[in-house]
Structure formats: structure tokens, C-alpha cells
Amino acid sequence: MWSGIPRATAQEWADHHQMQTLTTAMGPLMIHDHPNCLYSSKSKLKWSKYMQGASALFAYHIALEGDTVTVLTPPPPERFNPFGETNYQAIEEPILKGRAGASSVSQIELVHPTVTGAQDFHYQFWPVDEADDWDSRFGNLAPQQQNWRHPRKKRWKL
């Protein structure tokens, strides 16, 4: 899973580490010019809702089958969108933590692939946030300039 970094960066990291992203799992359903992809037949809003549903199903699958999930984010201090409401924050994370009635993963770990030299450093984020492990190894980096989106309207919460 990923949040707050470019999709291409997340996909490249996942491919290099033999891990799946939602894009990997969906295969041709995510390739906009593929005949099985519904992108061209949906409005932007309907495509967004479709992707939110796919995100929820992917998170449920991970929660039922997985033990540890890796989330790729920008480094501390601002690892997640401060306004919330990203697909990861509003949909996937609550499912992974078992707040939506399904099983939960045993732990969520973070990796910050946009930091040179840190692409393979994992630390636990949940159930215990061990960001101190990051700080002791990489120090408190100057915050990267993020262009976080403000949510347009409230999404459904799990």
C-alpha cells in the first residue's frame, strides 16, 4: 500500500521487492486503454468510487490473508496527509486494523522509499508506532515539501 508518494515510485519499489500494489492485483483492469478496463466508460467521480471499492476489497483481502502489511509514505514528521481522507487513511487503514468487522493484520510497517538510503528500512507503525527507530537511524530530516490535497467532501468511513 502507499500514500503521499508518486504511484510510479510505489509501483517500482513494490516490483523490486516482489510485493503487490492494488495496481498489480487489478492487472489489466487498471490499464486505461485495455478493453477490460472500465475507466473510459465512467465519469471521474464514478471512477473514483470504483477505485475506493477496489481499495476496500484489496484491504479486506490483506486483512484476511496477511500478517504484516507494508505502507510506503513520505518520511516523518509528516508521513500522512494532515487533512486525512486519502484512500489509505479513510478506507484501507481502518480495514487493516480490524475496525470494519474483519480480521486485522498483526502489524503495519512503514517504508519511506523517497529517502535515499532508506528504501529498505522498515519500522512498525501499528499497533505500536516505532518512529523512534527511524529517528535514531536517519535523524529528523527536514520536512519534504508535500502538495497534500484537501478533501473535497467527506468520504464514507469504515
**In the chain, how long is the greatest CA-to-CA distance?**
49
pTM for this predicted structure: 0.86
User: Does 147 score more than 60 pLDDT?
Assistant: yes
Q: What is the average per-residue pLDDT within 113-132? A: 95
Q: Are 21 and 1 in contact (CB under 8 A)?
A: yes
pLDDT of the residue at 157: 52
Q: What CA–CA distance (Å, rounded) separates 72 from 94?
A: 17
Q: What is the average per-residue pLDDT within 31-35? A: 93
Per-domain residue ranges of the chain: 7-138
Q: How confident is the model at residue 58 (pLDDT cuts 50, 70, 90)?
A: very high
